[in-house]
Chain A
Amino acid sequence: MELRIIMKKLNTFNKILLVTTVLLGLATLIRFLSYHSSPRYYYEASVSYPTDFPVRVWTAKLLLEGKEEKRIQTKSVSDGYGSWGFGDSPVIDHKERLPLAVVISYASFRDKAFYRDTIPLPLDSIRSIFKTQEAVGLRTSIYGMPEVKRFDLVLGIANKGNVVVWIQGEQFERTLLKHHIDAYVPRKKGDDFFTKEALSKTYFGKEFESDSLRIRESGGFSVKEVNYIDTPSHYLRGY
């Protein structure tokens, strides 16, 4: 009743403005609630590989709760310097939802093969680490805000199509999973690595020229190829 009287007293312009205000308020509320519909945490994700087993990454992303996606940093790949167990440490400025799966596709120089897969992550153990182990998170300062704790998800790309995912904090590391991917051949348009260069026989020689030079300079390949999936990450040694 009161509302009707108020509406009656307003002119058309004000009625339109009032309706807009109410709708905008509702939209803001819905947007706010859906943004916070699942918990968010500070974390980053990146790629690590043994420096003698260079790779090229085509796709690297995390599928998050609520159909969101997050890019996995691959700076170590583009820099051409990998270290087993060490990812990148990019700047963080906001929280994100927890990851459900890793989507990765890469070319391995030593295997001379392409790999791609979607690997489901153990969400429950990730969640419990974020909830209960916050004390061992990495201390991170965010511009204009107090220090926060964060974790790093590191995707280790070993040889022979093996992949491992670690979660790392301050003097803290857990292996979340180990996973084997079968090599695949990019066949149709839209497949990762489906380019003229990647399909040519000389691709691995050309694309990894600088890597192979570097490896040769530092003494060449060892005769017996180490199975890196069994090698623990060097991350904790850094402390």
Chain B
Amino acid sequence: MEDKEVTPSPKYDQERQSSISVQLIVGIIILVILFLNVTHSTEDEKLFQVPVISGIVTILLGAYVFMYRGKGHIAGKVLFIISLIITGVLIAGLIFIIGLGQAFQH
């Protein structure tokens, strides 16, 4: 095979890699949701799934933002911060619900 690659300009390559990353991240999120839902899950498991998915989204976005530091990618940063807040709220909510449930044990 011919291996005469034209090295693209760094800026263009960065853009391209970034858009591939975005697609892969979206793919992973969809697959995680599919993975959790191909079998039947109880109410409790469903309750846990929401923070888990949210946490995975946050980690992926965090990694993305960290990888493509720089001037652009503001959307990524904004989304990361939003998802961080949402995950925090969800986990706090879950802890609250579990605590509430335990209070009603008797």
Contacts and interface: CB of A to CB of B under 8 A. Distances in A.
Interface string A1-41: 10001000011011001101100110110011001000000
Given A13-B63, A14-B21, A31 B31 contact: no
Given A28-B38, A31-B39, A13 B27 contact: no
Residues of B contacting A: mostly: helix
Q: How large is the interface on A (under 10, 10 to 19, 20 to 34, 35 or more residues)?
A: 10 to 19
- The list of the 3 closest CB pairs from A to B, nearest first, reads A17-B24, A94-B40, A32-B38
A28 B39 contact: no
B28 A31 contact: no
Contact of B34 (A11, A14, A28): A28
16 contacts: A1-B1, A10-B17, A11-B67, A13-B21, A13-B64, A14-B20, A14-B21, A17-B24, A20-B28, A24-B28, A28-B31, A28-B34, A31-B38, A32-B39, A94-B40, A95-B40
Nearest to B43: A93
Interface of A: 1, 5, 10-11, 13-14, 17-18, 20-21, 24-25, 27-28, 31-32, 35, 94-95
Q: How large is the interface on B (under 10, 10 to 19, 20 to 34, 35 or more residues)?
A: 10 to 19
B35 A31 contact: yes
Interface in B33-81: 34-35, 38-40, 63-64, 67
